[in-house]
Structure 1
Amino acid sequence: MTFRRIASYLVSTGTALAVGAALWAAPGAACAEGFAVVATQTIYPGETVSAAQLKEVEVTNPNLAGGYAKSISEVDGMVSKRTLLPGRTIPVASLRPPYAINRGANIRLTFTLGNMTISASGTPLSDALVGDVIKVRNLDSGVIVTGTVLADGTVQVMAK
């Protein structure tokens, strides 16, 4: 098929106008996909991400895979699970909230039965988020108990 035949086909079907408009459009004008958050410096695993380490950039690549952070508020205060490189989008899956309780720290254990509440000191055996069920060693007796992490950093011990 010759160039002349291809051109006449495109003109007759109206495709030539769409192709021409796409080719002559201003870069980024027709394919802007919103904003993405990128790091301005290398962020290492376990590091808490701050707004000073981030910037929002306009996404102009329509083929960019989804799952990336679109605003700084989504990322600020989160902890990186892997190395985040400068200028690269930040996948939401590579972030986690900060732990409410860190392994080895001194925490308060509480056990409630009716109106009675018993409190003791303990050491968590793992890092945990609010709502997680973890094992904690009672520092007074050495017994390992299971409990739920509360928002105030205490562990509510479960009855056996």
Structure 2
Amino acid sequence: MKTSLLCTVTAAVIVATIQTALSEERILPVPAVTIYPGDTINESMLKDRTFPENYRFRTAVVESPRVLAGKTARRTLLPGEPVPLNAVDDPKLVTRGVQTGIVFEEGGLSIIGVGIPLQSGTMGETVQVKNVDSGRVITGRVQSDGRIRIGIQ
């Protein structure tokens, strides 16, 4: 009787320990291949990897593959390693020194020109741009199509 009770209690403790160990794991997205700086990340480049809950990461890491999809690598990301938050960035839609369209719209008036950004920028970011025609430096907001909207923001 005592032996069967002891076995039952031991089995219950083992099952509880295994369940606790399984619940303490973290599943994180990691690169399946080497991703180089400037590469745009898509979900096919990622896989899930399980880490123990007590694993200590050197920096804050990305916890969802949806966060990584569409981002650009800022440095080399190695296969199987967690992706630090500061290792990825939004893609740059305008590049410093590369001509892009500038747009001014107010009411029914629309003026389109060409400018040279003085800094690279992502969507929604405010950047300075030099108007090619006038040579004046103006400030505008990067649009999703890569043009810069100037005027009242």
Measured against the shorter chain, the TM-score band is 0.7 to 0.9
Cα distance in 1 between the residues matched to 2:143 and 2:108: 19
User: How many percent identity over aligned positions?
Assistant: 29
Residue 30 (structure 1) shift: 4.1
In structure 2, the CA distance between the partners of 1:137 and 1:72, relative to structure 1 (3 Å rule), is same
RMSD: 3.0
Say whether the 8 Å CA contact 1:100–1:151 is kept in structure 2: yes
Give 5+ residue unaligned stretches, structure 1.
Answer: 1-16
Cα distance in 1 between the residues matched to 2:28 and 2:140: 39
Q: Which residue of 2 aligns with 1:126?
A: 119
Matched, 1:80 2:67: no
Q: TM-score, normalised by structure 1?
A: 0.71
Give 5+ residue unaligned stretches, structure 2.
Answer: 1-8
Say whether the 8 Å CA contact 2:96–2:118 is kept in structure 1: yes
Matches within 5 A, 1:54-133: 54-65=46-57, 67-133=60-126
**Which secondary structure state, in structure 2, belongs to the residue aligned with residue 82 of structure 1?**
coil
Q: TM-score, normalised by structure 2?
A: 0.74
The CA deviation string for residues 41-75 of structure 1, in whole angstroms up to 9 with x for no partner, is 22222222222321111222423347322232221
**Which secondary structure state, in structure 1, belongs to the residue aligned with residue 34 of structure 2?**
coil
**Which secondary structure state, in structure 2, belongs to the residue aligned with residue 108 of structure 1?**
strand
